[in-house]
Chain A
Amino acid sequence: MNLNYSDEQLMLQDQIAKFCSSDYPFDKREKIIEDNFGHSPEIWNQFAELGWLALPFSEKNGGLDFGPIELSILFEEFGKALMVEPYLSTVVMSGYLLDNSSVNCSELIEQIISGAVHVSTAYAEPASGYAYESPQTQLTNGLLNGSKSIVLNGKYAQYFIVTAMDGSNLKIALVDASAEGVSINSFRTFDGQTCSDVTFENVSVGDEAMLYVGEDAINALNNMIKYATLCDSAEAVGCMSEALKKTVEYTKERQQFGVPISSFQVLQHRMVEMFMEAEISKSLLVKTMLQINSNDEEAEKTLSSLKAQVGKSGKFVGQEAVQLHGGMGVSNEMSIGHYLKRMTSIDSQFGNRSYHVKKFMSL
C-alpha cells in the first residue's frame, strides 16, 4: 500500500494551485460570474494551453489518459479556488461518454481538448429522483421528444448528450444544440454556474449519433455519474480545507474584547471540529479514488460513503465558517459564504447525503 502522491501528481497539484492563486483570485471570479455567467473563454483557453482539457481522455483520442487520482487533485484545487468553469459538464461528464462510446467521437473530443467546444449532458428531468436510468424522454424512430432539467452549462453548450427511452431500451444520443426542435432556457445557479431547461421536440437523431444503446447505455450513464460524484466530492474536500484555513486566519486577526477571537476556547474547539470533518472527508476521498476503477460493489459502497460524508461534513464546515466570521460571513463580498453555497450545491447533485446513506445500506 502506498498512500502518497507520485512526484508527477505533486507537480500537477502544484501547477493547478499556482494557476488558481495567480489567475483566479476571488474578485476575478466574481467579475466573471457577473459579466459572463460563470464562464470565461480566457480562463478556458488557459486550461487548454495547460493541457488540462485533455487530462481524462484516452490516448487514442488525443488525451493524457489520467485517472481518478489526477481528477481528484484537479477538483480539490478547484474547490479551494471556488472555480466555476464548466470542467465537470464538458470534460468529465460529456467527455466520459464521448471517449468510451463505440461510435468514433475523436473529432469532437479534439475540439473539446482545444477548448473550442462545450458539450453538456442532459440526464435529469423535472420528475427525476437521483436515479436516471429510466427517463421520460423518448427516442423512437429517430425522433427525440422530452424535457431535461438542470443541464449544467447548457448556455454555452454546442452539443447535448441526451438520455432517452426507446421502448424498454435506454439510449444515449448526441444532439446539436442548434438543431431544429431544440429549445433552451438558461438560468444562473446560486453558486455561480449556469444550468438550463432543454426541450426536444421531434429532433431527428441519426444512427451515427447514437452513442450507447441498452445495457451499454445504462453502464455508461452510471459510470459517468460515478466519476462526476467523485469530482464533486473532491471539490467539496477542497472547499472544506480552504474554508477552514480562511476561518482560522480570520479568527486570529479579528479582535473583540481586546484579544483575537481565536483565543476563545469555544471557537478553538469549533475549528478543531471543522478540521476533523475535513480530514475524515479527505480520507474517504483517498479511499474512493483508489477503488473507483475496480467497478465492484465495494467500490460503489465507498463512493456512497464519500458522497454521504462530504454532504454532512461540508454542511458543518460551511455553516461554521460563516458563523465564525460573524456578519462578514453573510456578506456576499467575502468569499467565505460562497464555500457554503458551493457545498450546498454539491450535496444536492448526484445524490444527497440521505440518498447515499440509503444506497450504502442497500449494497
Chain B
Amino acid sequence: MDIDFSKEDLAFRDEVRDFLANKYPKHVKEKQEQGISLSKQDMIDWHKSLYEQGWAGYNWPVEYGGTGWSPVQIYIFQNELAHAQCPTILPFGLNMVGPVIYTFGNQEQKDKFLPDILQFNTWWCQGYSEPGSGSDLASLKTKAVKEGDHYIVNGSKTWTTLAQNADWIFCLVRTETTQKKQEGISFLLIDMSTPGIEVKPIITIDGDHEVNSVFFTDVKVPVENLIGEEGQGWTYAKFLLAHERFGIAGVPNQIFNLKRLKEVTKGRIDADLEREIAEYEIELNALEFTELRSLAALANGSHPGAESSILKIKGTELQQWLSDIFVRSAGQFILPYEGPDGFGNNALPSGPDYSYSAVARYFNFRKTSIYGGSNEIQKNIIAKAILGV
C-alpha cells in the first residue's frame, strides 16, 4: 500500500492543469466563475474542448476511442476539473449509453453512435422512470410493438434530465408481457426528432427547468436501434445503473464546495457552525477514501457492484448536508430570491452574495437521495447483496 501519487501520476496531473490553464474555453470559465448559468452551446463547447484534447472518453477503453486511463488517473482528472470549477461532464452519453453500446451493441451501432458521443455531436437523455414506475422500475409500461422493420412506441417517461436539449434518448421499453416483469424489457435508442415525441417541462422546487416529461405517441423506431437482444434490456439497465451510481458521490465537487464554503463564511459564522463544518469534513474524508478503495478494487478487475450503493447513499447525504450548512451560514438573508421571475430590477439584495445560489442548491439537491435509485432502494441492495439478508 502507498498513499502517494507516483511520479507518472504527478506528471499527468500537470498535464491536466496545463489543459485547464490553456484550452478550457474562456467564455465557459468566466461564466462558471461568476455563477452565470451555461447555455446549451456553452455545454457543447466545453465537451468539444475535452474531445479535442482526446479526453472525452476519460473512462472508456482505448479501442473505442477512450483514454484507457487508470482509476487513479480518472480520480486526478475529476479532482482537477472540480478545482477549476469546470461544468459537469454530462453523464448520459459518456457514462451511460456509451458503455452500454460498446459492451452490448453490434458493430454497426458502435460505428454509428460512439464517435458522435465522444465528439458531443449528439446530446443524449435517459428514458427510464415513468409516472407509475419509479423505485419499481421493472414495472414500466411504455410499449414497443414490432411491425415489420420498426417498433411502434407508445407511453411516457418522466424526470428526463435535459430532454429539452437532447437529440437522442435511450429508453427501456416493454416488448413483451411476461410472467417475470424484468424479462419483457428491451433497450431502445430513439431519435428525439421522430414524429410523435412531445417534451413537457417539469419545474422543480428550486425554480429550475432541468427535468421533463416525455410522451411517445405511435413513434416509429427502426429495429436496428434495438441494443443487444429483445427482452434483455433489464440486464443492460442494471449494468448502466451500476455505472451511473459510480461517481454519483460527487467527491471532487464537494471538496471544492467545502473550500468555497470556508472562504465565503470566513469571519461571519459562529463556533457551532465551524464545528459542524469540521464534522462534515471528517465524513467527506471518509467518503473520499471509500471511493478510492472502490477504485482500487476496480483497477484489480472487479466490476462496480453493490459497493457503489454505499457511495451513492453517503455521497448524496453529504452533498445535502453541505448544501444545508451553506444555507444556514447565510442566516436570515436567504429569503430574497433572484431567480428569473424576480422583479427584474438590477439591484441585488443585501446580505451575502452566495445566499441565493445556496438556497437554490439546497432545494435542488433534495433530488439526489431520490434519483438514480432512491437511497431506500440502495439500502435494499446493500442488505441483499453485501449483508446477505
Contact = CB atoms under 8 A, between A and B. Distances in A.
Interface in A182-199: 185-191, 193, 195, 197
Given A149-B349, A354-B328, A330 B335 contact: no
Interface in A324-363: 326-327, 329-333, 337-338, 340-341, 344-345, 348-349, 352, 354, 358
B336 A195 contact: yes
Contact of A352 (B331, B342, B362, B379): B331
A348 B334 contact: yes
B349 A349 contact: no
A327 B158 contact: yes
Interface string B216-259: 00000000000000000000000000000000000000000000
A266 interface: yes
A256 B345 contact: no
Contacts of A326: 134-135, 370, 374
Interface stretch (A121-129, A170-178, A298-306): A121-129
Interface string A301-329: 00000000000000100010011001101
A330 B337 contact: no
A5 B83 CA distance: 58
B376 A266 contact: yes
A340 B331 contact: no
B359 interface: yes
A354 B272 contact: yes
Contacts of A191: 335
Interface in B351-378: 351, 359-360, 362-363, 366-367, 369-371, 374-376
B332 A330 contact: no
Contacts of A34: 341
A257 B380 CA distance: 14
B273 interface: yes
A348 B366 contact: no
A195 B202 contact: no
A187 B336 CA distance: 6
Contact of B335 (A130, A189, A266, A354): A189
Contacts of A130: 331-332
B370 A330 contact: yes
Interface in B324-344: 324, 327-328, 330-339, 341-343
Given A327-B129, A354-B273, A149 B350 contact: yes
A348 B331 contact: yes
A163 interface: no
B61 interface: no
A337 B365 CA distance: 12
A255 interface: yes
A323 B204 contact: no
A150 interface: yes
Nearest to B272: A354
Contacts of B133: 256
A331 B202 contact: yes
A330 B211 CA distance: 10
B376 A340 contact: no
B370 A188 contact: no
A229 interface: no
Counting from the closest, the 6 A-B pairs by CB-CB distance are A337-B205, A187-B336, A256-B136, A126-B350, A332-B203, A189-B335
8 contacts: A187-B336, A189-B335, A256-B135, A329-B366, A332-B207, A333-B203, A348-B328, A358-B272
Given A185-B349, A330-B204, A340-B366, 9 more contacts: A185-B345, A188-B341, A195-B349, A256-B136, A257-B139, A322-B366, A326-B135, A327-B370, A331-B202
Interface of A: 34, 124, 126, 128-130, 147, 149-150, 185-191, 193, 195, 197, 255-258, 261, 266-267, 315, 319, 322-323, 326-327, 329-333, 337-338, 340-341, 344-345, 348-349, 352, 354, 358
